[in-house]
Amino acid sequence: MGTEIERKFLVDRNIWHPEPGRGTRYRQGYLSSEPGSTVRVRIAGRQGFLTIKGSPHGIARLEFEYPIPLADAEQLLNDLCPHPLIEKVRYREPWNGLTWEVDVFEGANAGLILAEIELPTPDWPFTQPPWIGKEVSDDPRYFNAALSRHPYSRWDRVG
């Protein structure tokens, strides 16, 4: 793994429409989300993962991910991770040689749709699909660890 270089965008829900049954259901929580590092437990479909991420430096940060038994992931999420958990369905959308990951959030973050693109280098050129909206890569409210502490449903979006 090593370094994750990722940009994050809002999605225009009037243009992008998921293909039913094509996404993968995710549940994830955080064992630690201190400034400088996070330790995440995730179930993606029927697979469990433990991920350690460093603090962001622009759009890059250290990331290490390891598969763990599904039963262990379920117990960690249920018994050790603060709730609410992050619940979402992820869709993979190929576009001009790269793959966008579009997350449709559920539960406490319902109503939020984010697209992420992982890049080989921070200055890698790419084109945006027509359904991409405002970039939020530098807005920490949109980090999943932040959404688990302060869900989208509790945001004051007036104005």
Task: Express each pLDDT in 46-74 by its tens digit.
Answer: 999 999 999 888 888 999 999 999 999 99
Residue ranges per structural domain of the chain? 2-154
| The pLDDT of residue 128 | 96
Mean pLDDT of 28-43: 93
Of 14-18, 32-36, 45-49, 84-88, which gets the smallest average pLDDT?
A: 32-36
Rounded to an integer, what distance in angstroms lies between the CA atom of residue 45 and that of residue 43?
6
**Is the pLDDT reported for residue 137 higher than 90?**
yes
Would you call 60 exposed, middle or buried from its count of C-beta atoms within 10 A (0-12, 13-18, 19+)? middle
Residue matched to tokens 């890059």: 60
Check whether domain 2-154 has CATH 2.40.320.10, yes or no: yes
Rounded to an integer, what distance in angstroms lies between the CA atom of residue 66 and that of residue 72?
13
Kindly name the residue from 26, 30, 91, 152 that is annotated as catalytic.
Answer: 30
Q: Cis peptide leading into 84, omega within 30 of 0?
A: yes
Rounded to an integer, what distance in angstroms lies between the CA atom of residue 151 and that of residue 39?
18
Q: Does the active-site annotation cover 30? A: yes
The DSSP call for residue 125 is: -
Rounded to an integer, what distance in angstroms lies between the CA atom of residue 98 and that of residue 102?
13
Task: Express each pLDDT in 92-109 by its tens digit.
Answer: 999 999 999 999 999 999
Rounded to an integer, what distance in angstroms lies between the CA atom of residue 30 and that of residue 52?
10
78-82 LR contacts (CB < 8 Å, sep 24+):
80/29, 80/31, 80/41, 81/29, 81/30, 81/31, 81/41, 82/29, 82/30, 82/148, 82/149
| The pLDDT of residue 12 | 96
The DSSP call for residue 121 is: S
**Is the pLDDT reported for residue 158 higher than 70?**
no
Task: Express each pLDDT in 11-29 by its tens digit.
Answer: 999 999 998 889 999 999 9
For residue 112, the tally of other CB atoms under 10 A from its CB is: 19
DSSP SS3 for 108 = helix
